[in-house]
Amino acid sequence: MKEMTQHEARAEAFRRWGTAGTIEFHPPRQPRAVRGRLARYACTVGNGGEGFRSVEGQGDTWREAFDDARPR
């Protein structure tokens, strides 16, 4: 399965949650760096701004984040 682009992820968020759909990308600070146990995932999707989401999903890819999306 081909990975989503950032543009495709934004379109999927709008399809699922309308204009409230949001995506965030947090690349690792250093390529191939070891991330801590509680480190944030690279991709976050949801239905609203930071702190105001009733649905949120996280993952290392956009597809993982959408698969993880569930009510908070």
Q: Indicate the number of domains in the chain.
A: 1
Q: Which residues have a Cβ under 8 Å from the Cβ of 64 and sit 6 or more positions away?
A: 41, 43, 57, 58
Is the pTM here over 0.75, yes or no?
yes
Is 60 among the domain residues? yes
Is 45 within a domain?
yes
Establish how many alpha carbons lie within 13 A of residue 41's alpha carbon, considering only the half-sphere containing its beta carbon.
17
- pLDDT (tens, 9 = 90+) of the chain, 72 residues, equals 678 999 999 999 999 999 999 999 988 777 666 666 666 789 999 998 766 888 999 999 999 999 999 987
Domain assignment present for 35: yes
Is 49 within a domain?
yes
Q: Find out whether 12 and 4 touch, Cβ atoms under 8 Å.
A: yes
Q: Is residue 64 part of a domain?
A: yes
Domain that holds residue 50: 6-71
Contact 61, 41 (CB under 8 A): no
1 falls within a domain:
no
